[in-house]
Structure 1
Amino acid sequence: MDGSKNDTSLALDALRAIAAQMVCIGHGISFFLPELRQSGLPLPQNVGVLLFFVLSGFLISYTLLEKSRDPSYTFLQFFIDRAARIYSALVPCLLLVVLVDTGTIWLIGDRVLEGSRSPTIFLANLLMIETYRGPLEHLSLLRWPIIGSASPLWTLVIEWHIYLFVGALFFIGATPARATVLIPIAVIFGQIPLHYMFGALQEDNGLGRSLFALWLAGAYSYVVLRSVALQSRTLGAVLAVGSIVAYVATTRAYLEYKPVTYPLLVLFVLGVVVATQAGRIAASPWPAKIIRFFAGYSFTLYLIHHTLMYPAFLLWKDAGWLVFIPAVLVANVVAAVVATYTEKRHKQLAQWLRRRISRVRFYVRGEQGIRIRDAQ
């Protein structure tokens, strides 16, 4: 993952950017060019989501195994990093969703949007408990819809719960002394991931089934490559190209979430990593700058593109390419601008949170010391 020695980190950023564009373009096709969905080819938005889960598993596995070499790296540090990464984009995007949906209702009117907007729904989406699936799904307290037009949030809920579940389990093993604190976290946040393990049967015919299994496959890919150092451009290219060609040839539209198709996507990512481990290819800094630019707002684009396209769909659903192209461009431009002040500053947010928590700890310890001295 060292950018000075190989192109792996850059390649993974490129895959992240491509996955976000696939979701954006795929939803644009669904809105404005539905006839293109009759080709039988895998739907880009679904493939993009699946790629996100493979990449997420790979990178979180890297984060946990590498950063835990430092004894000071704890579950709290992991939580701060993940929370800053997610909420730096989620909070402004939720506010943007509310703003755009309000304008859509006022200018156009839409009963679907009107029925999925309230302060409690906003809070449920902020806490990422909407679309809860698990042993407690019969409780009305946990039954909340996705807010307004922000339908892509359903996968973010799964990702967030996977992060905390896997992180808690990892640190239970790494620091058994803290198990009493981490076990409840694992129990609470493990319900949704385990539901999406081996083929959850849902009302939507299994949409999202086995996403946690796919995530774990991505995570295990890093463990394998960490143990067996493979560095071959030829082998990696053959593996990546062969697996993606086989995936397109064997996977049909609307069947992307069948677990039998997942190994080919995992092999594709493995092939990209193996090929890019062999060293640096691009001598010019410009390709890296372009890739990192698009990757830098990929999460924001994923969160808001559907909301930005929805009003155009209500107004001009039959306009075809004349609306499709501007809609995709507007989504990218807005996401890039918003991310400049939010998503791209998640590391600064993480540092700020660490400083705040350190100050609180220092204050609490000082108060405890004063009480002990007074008691003595």
Structure 2
Amino acid sequence: MSPLSSRCVTYFDCLRFLLAQVVVIGHGFGFFFGYWGGFFPSKAPYIQSVAVVGFFFVSGFLICRSAMANIRHKGGDYMRYYVDRLSRVYVTLIPCLIFVFLVDLLFSFQFSDFELGVNLTFSTFFKNLLLIPSMPFGTMRPIWSLMFEWWIYILFGGIVFFRKNWIFSAICIGIGGYYTFRVNAKGEAGHLELIWMAGAVASLVFERIRKYEYSRYIAWASLSFAIIIYFLTCDAYNIFAGLLFSSGLLFIAVHFNGSEVSFDSRVSWCFNKLAGYSFTLFLTHYTVLYWLHKMGASGAVGLFLAFVLANIIAFIIASVTENYHKHVSAKALSFIAGIRERMPAR
């Protein structure tokens, strides 16, 4: 499997950053313009939910490529896969949960009409920490999608690395499959696991289409049909629109991977940094928007203030947490390797 070109890597960094911003703006419209239950979703689908669909596709694509590289170059180390996933999620999730708890607790003393306070309990905290499908903790509403995605990670790892440790993998397939298909797929978001799987399949066929000459035309056609279906149905989780949207994102990647267009190194560096706090922004922005709205912010000024503040807070938190997930993963894998070396040979 050939590595993605620098142009394609920059494209995915840019995509992750933009999708996160769309989620913030979509929730901002709801809070500061009163669009929930009115314009959204009666006239248009929730744009933040469409962005989540994009996130699931990108996740499936990149994680499958990473797993295949693991198998090809490192012999299929299932421990590496799960440590990488644990580090990627929990290095960000734990600080974000603490941030939400502290902010919600602080402002709950000032506002008696904190309707989400009923979920600010230790029981909900630990369920969210373990990513067991449940009510979100306080104002961390977006965590529902991570609860969905996490069990796809578990299921996928169990399937891909089954031959390396079949007992452990069978447990992962059983638990991951239960939460993915039995629990999460019955929610309002529908079958987002199919979008994730489409991303995984796309990563496998990418080598065959990576230099396809008409990729950009297919991309625009797919995105155009997706937009039409989205507006006809006003359903952000329409599976046909989601698959067309995913197809559009895929063929844009194909175009960037094979085109002669090059990005300035400073542009690539910039988008890499911006994408580096997208996960933190996704988990914390709702808290910022919620409390600013409670304090009376509204309209364009409220949206602008919330947008800027949410990004600044997420950037600061991520600079000491999310940005170090690879370092934490490397340390954990080194520690595990040391334990394995000291174990007596069988």
TM-score, L = length of structure 2: 0.92
Select the structure of larger CA radius of gyration.
1
Give 1:270's aligned residue.
Answer: 250
Q: Could you list the per-position Cα deviations for residues 317-343 of structure 1 after superposition, in whole angstroms to 9, with x for gaps in the alignment? A: 6x2111111001100011111111111
State the one-letter code of the partner of 2:252.
V
Q: How far 1:158 sits from its partner (Å)?
A: 1.0
Give 2:25's aligned residue.
Answer: 25
Q: How far 1:127 sits from its partner (Å)?
A: 0.8
User: Which of the residues 165, 173, 193 maps onto 2:155?
Assistant: 165
Question: Is residue 2:173 matched to residue 1:192?
Answer: no
Give 1:99's aligned residue.
Answer: 102
Structure 2 SS opposite 1:115? helix
Counterpart-to-counterpart distance in 2, 1:283 and 1:8: 10
Q: Is the deviation greater in 299-308 or in 283-292?
A: 283-292
* Structure 1: gaps (5+ residues): 132-144
User: Which of the residues 57, 60, 82 maps onto 2:60?
Assistant: 57
Give 2:199's aligned residue.
Answer: 218
Q: How far 1:73 sits from its partner (Å)?
A: 3.6
> What is the correspondence of 1:38-53 to structure 2 with a 5 Å cutoff?
38=39, 40-53=43-56
1:59–1:107 distance in 2 versus 1, CA, 3 Å: same
Structure 2 SS opposite 1:42? coil
Structure 1 SS opposite 2:214? helix
Counting aligned pairs with the same residue, the percent is: 27
What is the number of equivalent residue pairs in this alignment? 341
State the one-letter code of the partner of 2:324.
R
Counterpart-to-counterpart distance in 1, 2:290 and 2:11: 32
Give 1:326's aligned residue.
Answer: 305
User: Which of the residues 60, 68, 71 maps onto 1:68?
Assistant: 71
Give 2:273's aligned residue.
Answer: 293
State the one-letter code of the partner of 1:225.
F
Give 2:329's aligned residue.
Answer: 350
Counterpart-to-counterpart distance in 2, 1:279 and 1:245: 22
Counterpart-to-counterpart distance in 1, 2:30 and 2:249: 26
Structure 1 SS opposite 2:109? helix
Question: Is residue 2:292 matched to residue 1:312?
Answer: yes
Q: How far 1:35 sits from its partner (Å)?
A: 4.2
Q: How far 1:120 sits from its partner (Å)?
A: 2.4
State the one-letter code of the partner of 1:209.
G
Counterpart-to-counterpart distance in 1, 2:117 and 2:33: 26
Q: How far 1:71 sits from its partner (Å)?
A: 4.5
Q: Could you list the per-position Cα deviations for residues 193-213 of structure 1 after superposition, in whole angstroms to 9, with x for gaps in the alignment? A: 12378xx444xxxx2101111
Q: How far 1:222 sits from its partner (Å)?
A: 1.2
Structure 1 SS opposite 2:237? coil
Quote the RMSD (CA, aligned, Å).
2.2
Q: Is the 8 A contact 1:6 1:276 kept in 2?
A: no
User: Which of the residues 223, 230, 235 maps onto 1:244?
Assistant: 223
Question: Is residue 2:136 matched to residue 1:146?
Answer: yes
